[in-house]
Amino acid sequence: MIAVDTRPNNKHYLNTASANNLVLMGPAGSGKGTQAKLLSEKYTIPHISAGVIFREIRKEDTDLGRKVRELIDRGNLVPDNITNEIILRRINEPDCEKGFILDGYPRNTSQAEFLENHKTIKKCILIEVSDKECVRRISARRICSECRADYNIIYLKPKQEGVCDVCGGKLIMRDDDKPEAIMKRLRIYHEITEPLIGFYEKKGILLRINGEQPIQKVFEDIVRGLESGRPIL
């Protein structure tokens, strides 16, 4: 496990007396989820993952749960109107009063415009990683077929190849982590999500980060970018 210092820095410019709303962007495999968790620990604001929210809703035996499950199982994206309302409800919860870190939302300019009508975004952090590197990282992911523990044969190897450290179950590759599925996700990102780069760049709030570095270095670059120059008030 890589040790990353996420301790709050009293000298940082993020003003926790008011909302500090951040958006994390990057293709699948860019490590934005990892960085979001680290930033959440450092700045004590919640990490909100659209993917996690939808996976939880998918389990529910409700009209919404069944609708989301049907869409995801067919490989389709959840429509903007449903996505927007779910995310808006979450970011209006009390723990988001001082800010939040959005991971996986917005995914297109329509969603970004909706978000802008309800919340002010202070920075959009873009973690840049090549398609080739994304495929390499994601295709190394494994999951236990029994307890669902996560592994990565590059970064987080099991003690015994193909066997879960926790329960001894067989490690498998999820269908959406196979190269053909990854390339489909990357195509969607380039076609639908990449235009957001221009959207946030025009607003002067885009922070570009080289994601093909060690986790610690990526984190340090993000923090430096957030805390240098004009304060985020």
* Residues annotated as part of the active site: 32, 107, 141, 174, 185
Residue with tokens 């909302």: 19
In SS3 terms, 187-223 reads as: HHHHHHHCHHHHHHHHCCCEEEEECCCCHHHHHHHHH
Task: Take residue 82 and report the two structure tokens written for it.
Answer: 């449903």
Say how far apart CA 23 and CA 8 lie, in whole Å: 20
3-state class of 149 per DSSP?
coil
Say how far apart CA 102 and CA 121 lie, in whole Å: 10
Answer whether 103's CB lies under 8 Å from 32's CB. yes
Answer whether 20's CB lies under 8 Å from 120's CB. no
Pairing state between β 99-103 and 123-128: unpaired
